[in-house]
Amino acid sequence: MKRNMLLNKEDLEVMLTTAGKTRHPKRDTMILKFLYYTGCRIGELVEIKVGQVRNADRIHLTAGQTKRRHPRTVFLNRALQEELAIYIASKSDDDALFPSQKGAQFSKQGLTNMMSKLCKASGIDDVTSHSFRRSYITRLGIDRNVPVKVLQELVGHRQLTTTQLYLEVTDMQLQSAVEAA
């Protein structure tokens, strides 16, 4: 299985700069931040409506909005909540959170294509939309020592082993562990 590239804060900043120069800079930067800070799947993201996010610290995804048709909750950190509140201020609750260029709900493939173009324009190779999810899981699990069981719940995996597959240990982390011994 080919692993998706891990993204760090610097990669995100480069992509945010690129997103700020697109035809839809507010939407595109919010999509990047949303994916990076929630670990949400693209297929879930395209299903989210504004009303699910308004005044919320979490998003309750219905079975129809998730990959395996099992409801789950996506938690939002405070900074993302504040940015989303500004982003959605003038939007209707029934609107797609991140509408396509035509104002309708993105298709999963349409958003994946848009993300691919954005990542390539940023000059960061081997990034896919799923890189954001993998980076989220690794960042919380390895960098912040969040227990794997908590990660499993956060990302909606049914099997603990699936979550473990997402975790990437870097040489720097291994060296740091040896130094702490």
pLDDT tens track for 6-47: 899 999 999 999 999 999 999 999 999 999 999 999 999 999
Using a pLDDT cut of 70, give the percent of the chain over it: 98
Give the pLDDT band (50/70/90) at residue 100: very high
The 10 Å Cβ neighbour count of residue 119 is: 25
Domain count, the chain: 1
Rounded CA-CA distance 164/168 in Å is: 9
Is 1 inside any structural domain? no
CATH number at residue 144: 1.10.443.10
**Domain range for 112:** 9-180
pLDDT at 2 over 60: no
Using a pLDDT cut of 90, give the percent of the chain over it: 67
Q: Output the pTM of the full model.
A: 0.89
CB-based burial label for 108 (10 Å; 0-12, 13-18, 19+):
middle
Q: Report which DSSP code applies to 98.
A: S
How large is the average pLDDT for residues 45-65? 95
Give the pLDDT band (50/70/90) at residue 1: very low
Is 4 inside any structural domain? no
Is 142 inside any structural domain? yes
Q: What is the pLDDT of residues 164-175, one digit of tens each?
A: 888 877 787 788
Q: What is the pLDDT of residues 65-92, one digit of tens each?
A: 998 888 999 999 999 999 999 999 999 9
pLDDT at 177 over 90: no
Rounded CA-CA distance 77/24 in Å is: 24
